[in-house]
Amino acid sequence: MTNCELEAAGNQSMTLVCEAIMASRGGIPSEARILDFGCGQGRHVREFRAASYDVVGVDRFHEELDVPRSPLHDGQEYLYSSDAQGRFPFASDSFDFCYSTSVFEHVMDYDQAVSGIWRVLRPGAWTLHIFPARWRPVEPHIFTPFGGRFQHPAVISLWAHLGIRNSFQKGLGAEQTAARNLTYSRTGINYPPKREIVRSFGRYFGHVEFIEREFVSAIREVSRLSGLLAPVISWPGVEALYRDFHTRVVLARKSCSVTSGSAARTSAPMRTSNSATRMEGDSSHPRTCPCVVRSGKEVDSGRPTTATTAWPGTLCVRRAPAPGAHRGHRERHRR
């Protein structure tokens, strides 16, 4: 893992973290095609491939990374760059699982990133994203106090004059460090509030939830902080504090029945709970799977259904519209 997740998860591999989190959801199928969103130079791509998964990575184009991004150690090309507009070079509905770690704090346009991930995932596929919290006491890139929320030039300058540097700034003077950090805080990091994250993912995915409790449990053996928190993470307010002040973990699932074409960008009303977000909206929106039922059990709606297995242990049920149903009828998503 990189940056804050090295701190959060110690030497825990991303492969094991994803497997642990997905275990209660049927696991990651051995034949699944996986996307590493924001792969950098391919560390986790190598890791997943070493575990016999079919995985490729994508990142925005960087001239300095162009050569090392070409082939991996075995001479195969598994790392790709998005184009100048941020579009992925993959066909729609071509991946079964997507993950990222320490990436979404760099995403300046959530709608573009989330819609791109939604497009390339197959119906019923999951996407998991781990990134530092907005109110983390020390922002993990520019190392300023609460830098994810406040980027005042005076604070950034003070921290630089106190000698605080990241690994890329060793040897730089205070003024140069402050100037770089100020620019980076405006162009390289983005920490939207929780409601905006929910809204961005909810525009495209039928199910969205924050799963910090599961993440802490998954890395408790290799992270000192998680080892301390694991016994109390279920206490009232503890998971929310971890989410707000340390790490956010978002898990979303693409609806099992989707409309053709690009995702509609609408501001559908939504309801939120402590752990999950269930969406309501126009039935023409890509979030059109009325229900996802565990253990292969269909909900008796009194209407015709069609069912396909979208993920081990689950059954995707698509109901036919009721006679005379209004276009804006409520869509229900049940886990």
Q: Are 104 and 129 in contact (CB under 8 A)?
A: yes
- Residue 330's pLDDT band (boundaries 50, 70, 90)? very low
Tokens of 135: 């109110």
Residue with tokens 């994250």: 197
**Residue % of the chain over a pLDDT of 70:** 68
Would you state the pLDDT for residue 62? 61
Question: Which of 117-126, 247-256, 265-274 is predicted with the least confidence, judged by mean pLDDT?
Answer: 265-274
Res 292 pLDDT > 70: no
49 by Cβ neighbours in 10 Å (0-12 / 13-18 / 19+) ranks as: buried
Q: Where is pLDDT greater, at 121 or 168? A: 121
End-to-end CA distance of the chain: 30
3-state secondary structure of 128: strand
Q: To 5 degrees, how large is the angle CA 201–CA 188–CA 270?
A: 15
Write out the CATH class of domain 4-134+191-279: alpha beta
Residue 89 is classified by DSSP as: S
In this prediction, residue 137 carries a pLDDT of 97
CA dist 126 and 25 (Å) reads 10
- Residue ranges of the domains in the chain? 4-134+191-279, 153-187
Which residue type, as a one-letter code, is found at position 234?
A: S
pLDDT of residue 89: 92
Cα–Cα separations (whole angstroms), residue 260 to 118, 178, 284, 315, 320 = 12, 48, 9, 21, 17
288: its two tokens: 């059109």
Residue-level length of the chain: 335
At 278, the pLDDT band (50, 70, 90 cuts) reads very low
- Model confidence, pTM: 0.75
Name the average pLDDT for the chain: 77
Confidence of residue 63 (pLDDT cuts 50, 70, 90): low
| Backbone φ and ψ of 131, nearest 5° | -155, 160
Q: Is 167 helix (H, G, I), strand (E, B) or coil?
A: coil
pLDDT at residue 22 tops 90: yes
Q: What is the arithmetic mean of pLDDT over 245-252?
A: 98
Query: Is pLDDT above 50 for 205?
Result: yes
